[in-house]
Every structure is written in structure tokens, then in C-alpha cells.
Chain A
Amino acid sequence: MAFLEVEGLGRDFPGVRALHDVDLKLELGRVHILAGENGAGKSTLVKLVTGAYAPSRGRILIDGQDVASNPGLHRYVAYVPQELNLFPNISVAENLFLPYDRKKLGGLTVNRGKLERAAQEYLDRYAITASPRDLVRDVSVPDRQLLQIARASTNKDMKVLFLDEPTSSLTSAEIERVMNVVRGFRDSGHAIVFISHKIEEVLAIGDDYTVLRNGQKVADGLISEIDEQGLIRAMSGAEIAIDQRFRPDPRPEGAPEEVILSADGLTGTGFEDVSFELKRGEILGFAGLLGAGRSELMQTIFGYMKAMSGSVTLKGKPFPLGQTSRSVKAGLLYLSEERKQHGILPQLSVRENVGISILDQITGKLGISRRQERNRVAEVIKAYDIKVAGMSQQISNLSGGNQQKVIIGRSMATAPTVLIFDEPTKGIDVRTKAEIYRIMKRLAEEGVGIILVSSEMEELRRCANRIIAMYSGRVTGTFDTATTSNETLVGALFGSETNTDAA
């Protein structure tokens, strides 16, 4: 008998049917994989089951009882969202227990000592190294991720735990910590629902799976009876070659080598003395652990952060740093890893989000031409296959993958000379990933300089011609992807400066 059962569940939004009659059975002591592309309806399903949305159709049974007649049943279900949503300026212990259960943690006032002792138990259980007194903003990203799970588990009634991409911003060693915690929950008789775009991870941890596509359940069964290719086929409804390479073809013999962008002895917050050259026609990868200083380096080149010393040349000419407006004007664009924080204008429409980048192209004597703007935006939506209900749809209502395509699309519309992609496929499904790789390859071959910052070694190997490894703010090697082994690369990520090819 399944602990949580979903029957014929559906939810409509104005103009969109987000979820059609979906069935789902969750059993205690098992890990259930919920798979699907961006916008397939995973988040909607989760929000219905956790009670954040009311269903339009169907019912949810928890422990055999209908949730509609007993909303208190939602207490058995906990949800850890993809984005970290802790309170950064208060302590770890307070974050764990907000809003404080009066009975256990003292009366009217919060008993600090008691709170911190109780917190320490949870920290130990999940091998979180932070102290209960640390402010969350000072805690490392993997610890924060585990802290969110710990917070969910302070609910003693919790039987079902939804984890939405808990590993998307972690590196492999850190992912293993999360996996151990998941196994712990499974063995203690909880049902886990695990959402992830990382197929290997899913195959390793899952017991059962359900695949959603366009809001419908298209497949379910046992993980042991499906393979990588089968899962991808179910999610995308198409064959996608997962080991396909997207490296731009090398320059023809004898063609002159042209350096588009070069950095010389660049030093800034989080990195030191970085020099490199980006050549025409190549994708240059930047590998490193979290905190290696790659994003800071790129944001400094882009002018978003201040440089302390060193210089940059763009197309052979010295390029003054420190102003994003100048970079954008020169066609040097940076697509941030933080889509929400640095990318989208959340309350504005898709039209305005694309239009903002091409205003100079669509503004005449009488101001912005609505007609021209609509035409250009329609072109971008078509060219990048962005799934929208209409261009006046608010961008926050698009799935992450489609938001990313809007951001890429609007950047392309400006005819850039250098594009810096910072983790462009974070939280993005396999098919959209391949589309983004294809776009990068095409642009590189057209002569746009492409820099790819990624934490996924596989991604760098598939796309980059050369890979620069960074470790705690310094370059530890430049490698030709085709002739370098994984071991050498991984070694460089952890700081060993060996086998460096001449750049």
C-alpha cells in the first residue's frame, strides 16, 4: 500500500494546462525519481502535493485519507526547493527551528542555549561542519543545501521528502554527501522524491521513476529496468545522442590565428594574476571548484566587479575595465549563472525582457516602435524555440530553461563579439542543454569568442577546445581537451600544477 497516492491530478493556469491527469504512488523506504524536461510539470506537481497550489482535478491520498477533506495531512510532506531559501542574516540554529516550537524550545523567549544544543544534533546527523552560531551567509553552499534538508527534517511528522535538484550547484564530492543523507532517509523508512537533471545521479540513487512530459505522465516503472538512453527518450520524446561532441572544428590549416580577447596578469576579488588568450573560432572552457574564482574573474572582465591590477585587450586593443555599459557596447557579454539575480527582469514581460537589449535597434524618432519590437521578439522566440503563452507573458512564469533561452536569445540579438557563459546549463534538461551547446558551437564557428565556465567536467569535455583550470583564484593549467585525460584535469582542479601545455 502506497503511503502517498495521487490520482488523476490536474491543474490549470489561465491559458495553460500545466498538469493533466497524473497518477503517482510513493512508498515508504524508497527513492522515487521524478523526471522531465524544464516545464514538464514537475514543479506544479510538487506544489500540488505540498499544498502550495489547490488542484483543479483529481485527488491526493496520504495514508489512505483524502487531503482535500483533511488539509492537516500536508504535515507529512516536506519540500526542499532548488533555490536556497534560508535567512542569510540569522544563525544556523535559528534557521533550523524557525518559527520555533514553543513547547520544546522554551516559553515566551527563545532559549538560545537550548536552541543551539538541539541544532548541533541535526548538524552532526547530516555531517554539516558549520556551527549553530554561524550566520547562514557565512556558511558554504553545500552546507546550506544540507541545512535546508535538515530544516525540513526538524518536522517530526515528515514521511515524504521532496528534493528539487538538490545537487545542481554542488561538485561531485559534495554531491556524495547529499546522496548519503538521502540514503539515510530511505533506510529510516521515509519516501524520497528526487528531482534532478543529472541522469547518472538519478540512476544511482533511484528505486522507482515517473517521467512527465508536457504536463502528462508518459512513463513509470523501476529504475533497475531502464537505462540512461531510455530515460532520456521518455523525457524528450526523441533520441538524443548523449555523448555527442560540440567542439567547434579547428581552424583550417594555415589560417591566421586571431586573438579576440586576452587577459594579462589580471587580479581582482577572488582571483590573482590570471592571464589567458581567447582565440577566434574556439570555445574556451574554465574548470574549477566552487570558489575557484572563475565567476569573479569573468565578472571583472565584464566590468561588473572592480579589477585591482592587470589589463585586458579586446580584438588587439586595450580594453578599459570597470563599466558594464562599455562592455555591452563593445559586444562583450556575460550571461550569469544567477539567472534570477543577474539575468531576468522578473515582473516584466518576455517582450520587455528581450526588448531591453535591442532598444537602439527599434527606437525611431517617435520612440520605441512597438511593431518593430514585436517582430524582433517574435524572431527571437522562434529562433530559440522558447515556449511561451505569448510575448506578453510575465517572464517569471516561464520554466528555468525557457528563461535561459530568453537571456541567450536577447544577447544574440545584439550581435556580440565575445560571450561568456557562466554555468549556462545549470538546472536545464538534457535536450535544452544540447540546444545550448549547438548554439555555442555555431557562434564560435561564426567567429564569436566563446568562454564557457562550467563545474561539469563532462560539459567542458564535450564543448571546449581548450580548458583552463583554476584553483583558489589561480590558473593551474591550460589543456587541449582532445589530448588530455580526465585525471590530469581533475588533478588541476584540486590544485596540482602538472602537465601544463603551452597556451
Chain B
Amino acid sequence: MQRKNRLGFLKNQMMGVLIALTVIFVISAIVSPYFLTSYNMTVVARSLAFVGLITIGQSMLMILGELDLSLGVMAGLCGVVSGILMVNFGLNPWLAMFLSLCLGAALGFFNGIMVTTLGLHSLVLTIGTAGIFGGANLVLTKGVAITNIPKEVQFLGRGDFLGMPVPFVIMIVVLAIASWVILKTPFGRYIYAIGDNTQAARMLGIKVDRVRALVFTAAGTLAALAGLLMVTRLGTAQPSIGETWVLPPIAASVIGGVATTGGIGTPFGAILGASIIAVIENIIVLFGVSPYWQGVVSGFIVVLAISFDSISRRYLRGNG
């Protein structure tokens, strides 16, 4: 018997995503002999790690009822700033990375504070700040990559830990912490409450603006982390880092059961959604689909996945 409640709903939702992921995984394994090789799995895990970090932040913002479209360019800006600090200023690479993380936190906080104090719509605001951050990136780099990132930090992007790529391990640790915060702490409950009914949350004495600003800050920090890891992976600070990290985390969150209207979903579900996208993109490459067609095919599969999800949910609810 289906119970109509959030947990049951989440379980259904999670089941749908898990089934979809399994089906895509199995099909991929059948049609391509390369798919399950450990090398290919590492490729998938590594690409999932970067988008995954952004997805964790974005999904928490979406549960809160907000959205930050500047996270991708924020990652790029923080990445090149770390490169400039390490290479051009010769700063200790660890200190440079710490400062870049702080920059990410500050940029996220800036978005948050603009939303809370001026009552701006986060979607529109972050379209604007994305322009600012992206522009600052080009001003600093003039579009040229910063090379010679110190070897001592490159293992962060390239190394393995327990047979898994380090960025992937970091993403999993962040996911565990985010899941604990959102499911087990009062702060997490406040995020759901605000996303579900902001006025009621305020009536309950929740410091709505503080929670909002903090989640924006956390998302900014995670974006900076993704950018830094990409820099250590490439060994160069490319100005283009993060350009493709804007929409996939939002799509991943929705596929994973996060409601665009807030109050529903988990970062874990969002990562499942991101995994689906990562596997699809991988199999397209394995199949040697022409690069010109890749966007069309992956977009089409995403539309298919969310349609399947929506239809199955309507069926499960069985109302009317």
C-alpha cells in the first residue's frame, strides 16, 4: 500500500532514479565491452566528482527554494585565482588553495546576502553575478591558461585513493557530510522548512535569512573546491573551467527528486541524478557518437528520464 508522505514519496522517487540508473548501467555494460573496465569506471567517477560537488551545493539551494546560476563560473574564477596565487605570486600552493576556497565562500555569501537583504530573486541575481564572475575571470587571465601548477598538489586531481580517483573520494566525503547536515541536524530541518513554507518558517522563529546566506556560502565553497580540483587535475588553470557546470547540476537534482519549488529532495538523490547524466555522457563517447550530436543525444535522454519519472510518479500517486 502506498502511503502519501514525504519519506514514502522520496523512497518512490529514489527507487525510480535507482532503477533508471541500473537500467542505463546494465544497457551500457551490454552494448559496450569497454564500459565496465576499471579504466573507464575511473573516467566516469572522476567526471562525476567535479559536477557532483556543484550538484551537492545546488541541490541544497534548490531544497531551500533558491538557485545559483553563478556556481559554474565561480568554480572557474576560484580555479584561476588559485593558479595566479600559486604561479604568478609564488604562494605556498596549500595557502593559495585555502584562499581560493575562502573566495568561493565569499562569492557565495555575496549572492546570499543580496538575496536576503534586498529581496532579489536568486535566479535573476545570479545570472547577473555569473556575468561579473565570468568577466573577472577573463580580465585576470585575458583568456590564457595559467600553466605549471606545482606538482605537489596535482595528486588531488590525478591521484588515486583506495583504487578510486581522489576527487571522487572527496566528493563522497562531502556528500556524506551534506547528507548528515540536511537529514540529522536542526539546520537541515530549517532548510526543508524554509523551502516548503518560508512564512511559516519565519513564524516558527527560524532565522530564515541566516540559513539562506549560509547555504549560499556553502554552495560557493563547494564550487571553489570543484574548480581547484579541476586545476590540479589539468595541471593548468584554464579560464574555461566550470563553463559546462551550470545546467547539468540543476537537471541532475530534478532527476534525483529535488523539487524546483523547494522543500523536497536530498543531495544523495541529486548525486544519483548526476550519475545518470555521467553514465549517459560516457556511453555516448564510447559509442563514438559524433561530437556534434552529443548534446542532442544526452539532452534527449535527460528529457526521457524526467518524463519517465513524472509519469511513474503520477501513476504511483493514483489520484483521481
Contacts and interface: CB of A to CB of B under 8 A. Distances in A.
Given A54-B320, A394-B5, A325 B196 contact: no
Nearest to A47: B320
A344 B8 CA distance: 19
Interface stretch (A66-74, A186-194, A346-354, A458-466): A346-354
A339 to B, nearest CB: 9
Interface string A345-373: 11111001001110110010011100000
B106 to A, nearest CB: 25
Given A15-B1, A347-B6, A341 B193 contact: no
Contacts of B197: 341, 344-346
Given A347-B264, A348-B192, A355-B189, A392 B203 contact: no
Given A343-B203, A347-B263, A363 B1 contact: no
Interface stretch (B115-123, B146-154, B157-165, B180-188): B180-188
Given A348-B263, A392-B8, A329 B205 contact: yes
A367 B263 contact: no
B207 interface: yes
Given A344-B200, A356-B193, A367-B184, A389 B3 contact: yes
B313 interface: no
A20 B319 CA distance: 18
A349 B9 CA distance: 11
Nearest to A411: B204
Interface residues of B, number: 34
B142 interface: no
A162 interface: no
A404 to B, nearest CB: 14
Contacts of B200: 341-345
B181 to A, nearest CB: 8
A148 to B, nearest CB: 23
B290 interface: no
Interface string A458-501: 00000000000000000000000000000000000000000000
Interface in B238-275: 259, 263-264
Contacts of B201: 345
A313 interface: no
B196 A341 contact: no
Nearest to A303: B205
A360 B199 CA distance: 21
Contact of A347 (B189, B196, B206, B319): B196
B207 A325 contact: yes
A475 to B, nearest CB: 25
Contacts of A355: 189
Contacts of A348: 6, 192-193, 196, 263
Given A329-B205, A349-B6, A394-B6, A363 B186 contact: yes
A324 B203 contact: yes
A352 B192 contact: yes
A214 interface: no
A100 interface: no
B193 A336 contact: no
A359 B186 contact: yes
A363 B185 contact: yes
Size class of the A contact interface (CB-based, 8 Å): 35 or more
A368 B185 contact: yes
Nearest to B201: A345
Contact of A367 (B180, B203, B259): B180
A392 B4 CA distance: 9
Contacts of A349: 5-7
Interface centre among A360, A363, A390 (most CB of B within 10 A): A363
Contacts of B3: 14-15, 389-390, 392-393
A12 B238 CA distance: 60
A345 B7 contact: no
A494 B197 CA distance: 36
Contact of B205 (A14, A328, A352): A328
Interface string A243-282: 0000000000000000000000000000000000000000
B186 A368 contact: yes
A368 B207 CA distance: 19
A457 B264 CA distance: 42
A352 B203 contact: no
B5 A304 contact: no
Contact of A336 (B184, B192, B203, B320): B203
Contacts of A356: 189-190, 193, 204, 206
Contacts of B319: 53
A345 B196 contact: yes
A397 interface: yes
Pick from A329, A336, A345, A394 the residue with the most CB of B within 10 Å: A345
A352 B4 contact: no
B211 to A, nearest CB: 11
Contacts of A347: 6, 196, 259, 263-264
Which of B2, B204, B259, B320 has the largest count of A CB atoms less than 10 A from its CB?
B204
A164 to B, nearest CB: 19
B4 A393 contact: yes
Interface string B167-197: 0000000000000100111100110110011
A361 to B, nearest CB: 10
A52 interface: yes
Contact of B202 (A324, A366, A368): A324
Contacts of A390: 3, 5
Contacts of A367: 180, 183-185
Contacts of A13: 4
A443 B6 CA distance: 33
A325 B210 CA distance: 11
Given A341-B200, A348-B263, A397 B4 contact: yes
Most buried by A among B1, B199, B203: B203
A185 interface: no
A357 B204 contact: yes
Given A14-B1, A346-B196, A394-B6, A325 B263 contact: no
A214 B47 CA distance: 56
Given A347-B263, A368-B189, A352 B184 contact: no
A357 B264 CA distance: 19
B196 A394 contact: no
Contact of B5 (A327, A357, A359, A392): A392
Nearest to A369: B184
Contacts of A360: 186
Contact of B192 (A52, A343, A345): A345
Contacts of B199: 341-342
Contacts of B318: 14
Kindly list the 10 A-B residue pairs having the minimum CB-CB distance in the complex, ordered from nearest: A328-B205, A367-B184, A359-B186, A345-B196, A325-B205, A392-B5, A394-B5, A347-B263, A324-B205, A342-B203
Interface of A: 13-15, 52-54, 302, 304, 324-329, 334, 336, 341-349, 352, 355-357, 359-360, 363, 366-368, 389-390, 392-394, 397
Given A345-B263, A389-B3, A392-B7, 20 more contacts: A304-B203, A324-B204, A325-B206, A326-B205, A342-B199, A347-B259, A348-B6, A352-B192, A357-B204, A359-B189, A360-B186, A366-B184, A367-B184, A367-B185, A368-B184, A392-B6, A392-B8, A393-B4, A394-B5, A397-B4
8 contacts: A341-B200, A352-B192, A356-B193, A359-B186, A363-B185, A367-B183, A368-B186, A394-B6
